[in-house]
């Protein structure tokens, strides 16, 4: 393969969640454009391929994030057009909360070149493991927090709810010194309280970057959420509020008995962190 684009994720934990497939991509590329969260991962990339180009300088304080993303895409696709096999290394899973990756692949393919995304470990994968959540228990809904509020997303309180980027609600620019999240989280808390009540327990989660440090797993009441410390990495896990009841018509159509329904209900849970 002479010309094209390989997009891959570096996982959440520093170098430790790097897949064998991603490593193979790094080793064969002519140049790697990277956006990672820690120096350990950068050093690991450099040990495999010294032709690294950082994408971090595309960000600037008060600069719209979309403008930064477009600059990243143009850098990556520009290198492909020079005849190189280009790598794009992104923190976590390269297709999750990663507009530049999808847009770069679209443009490269539109120009007639090869482009492929290689999956990686995402923050959601870490959340399922760290909180003891099985999305099959009661279903799982996932939204970016600003999108969730802005578009009035419909959701079922009887299923798990995951809200991403709760620490940057309503902010579309990059802020190197931190974000003023208080107003956004107050609005979010009010909406959730209207569905779950003030005493419903939720978890503020942040995956660990290093195996020697535990993840953040703060259990708080919804009534406390508006005063809880958040960061740009904070994710909110809202466990189900009650169990759904089976549809009698569907029971008949599917041929499921009451005994089988009882067995299915045994799979329904919240989180091992909340039920232990």
- CATH number of 96's domain: 3.40.1010.10
CB 271 within 8 A of CB 133: yes
Residue 263 pLDDT? 64
> Last residue of some domain: 121, 156, 171?
121
Number of structural domains (the chain) is: 2
The pLDDT of residue 270:
62
| Residues 257, 154 share a domain | yes
Domain end call among 76, 103, 121: 121
Strand order across the beta sheet in which 52-54 lies: 52-54, 31-35, 85-90, 4-9, 114-118
Considering the domain architecture, whether residues 240 and 162 belong to the same structural domain is answered as yes
- The encoded tokens of residue 99 equal 């507009």
Residue 155, SS3 per DSSP: coil
Residue span of the structural domain in which 149 resides:
124-271
**What residues act catalytically?**
65, 69, 91
End of a domain among 88, 121, 154? 121
Question: Do the domain assignments include residue 276?
Answer: no
Predicted pLDDT at 207: 96
Tell me whether residue 237 is in a domain: yes
Same domain, 131 and 257: yes
Verdict on whether the full-model pTM lies above 0.95: no
CB 181 within 8 A of CB 167: yes
Q: 71 lies in a domain?
A: yes
Distance CA 271, CA 199 (A): 17
DSSP 214-256: PPEEEEEEGGGGGGS---TT-EEEE--SS-PPPPHHHHHHHT-
Same domain, 217 and 229: yes
Question: Is the CB of residue 108 less than 8 Å from the CB of residue 4?
Answer: yes
One pLDDT digit (tens) per residue for the chain, 276 residues? 689 999 999 999 988 899 999 999 999 999 999 999 889 999 999 999 999 999 999 998 889 989 999 999 999 999 999 999 999 999 999 999 999 999 999 999 999 999 999 999 999 999 999 999 999 888 999 999 999 999 999 999 999 999 999 999 988 766 655 666 788 999 999 999 999 999 999 999 999 999 889 999 999 999 999 999 999 899 999 999 988 888 888 888 888 877 677 666 655 556 777 765
Q: Are residues 82 and 137 in the same domain?
A: no
- 160 and 265 both lie in a single domain: yes
14 & 114 share domain: yes
> What is the Cα–Cα distance from 19 to 93, expressed in whole angstroms?
11
């Amino acid at each position: 393969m002479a010309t094209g684009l390989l997009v891959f994720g570096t996982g959440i934990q520093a170098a430790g969640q790097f897949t064998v497939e991603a490593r193979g991509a790094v080793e064969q590329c002519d140049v790697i454009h990277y956006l990672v969260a820690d120096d350990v991962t950068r050093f690991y990339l450099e040990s495999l391929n010294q032709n690294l180009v950082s994408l971090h300088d595309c960000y600037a304080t008060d600069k719209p994030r979309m403008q930064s993303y477009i600059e990243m895409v143009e850098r990556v696709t520009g290198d492909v057009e020079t005849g190189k096999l280009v790598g794009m290394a992104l923190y976590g899973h390269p297709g999750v909360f990663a507009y530049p990756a999808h847009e770069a692949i679209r443009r490269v393919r539109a120009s007639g070149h090869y482009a492929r995304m290689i999956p990686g470990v995402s923050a959601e994968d870490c959340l399922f493991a760290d909180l003891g959540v099985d999305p099959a228990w009661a279903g799982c809904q996932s939204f970016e927090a600003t999108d969730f509020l802005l578009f009035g997303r419909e959701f079922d309180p009887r299923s798990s709810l995951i809200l991403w980027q709760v620490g940057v609600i309503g902010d579309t620019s990059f802020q190197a010194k931190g974000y003023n999240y208080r107003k956004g989280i107050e609005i979010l808390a009010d909406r959730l309280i209207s569905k779950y009540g003030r005493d419903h327990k939720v978890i503020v989660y942040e995956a660990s970057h290093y195996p020697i440090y535990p993840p953040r797993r703060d259990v708080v009441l919804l009534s406390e959420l508006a005063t809880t410390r958040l960061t740009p990495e904070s994710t909110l896990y809202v466990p189900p509020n009650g169990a759904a009841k089976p549809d009698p018509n569907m029971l008949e159509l599917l041929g499921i008995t009451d005994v089988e329904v009882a067995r299915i209900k045994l799979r329904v849970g919240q989180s091992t962190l909340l039920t232990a």
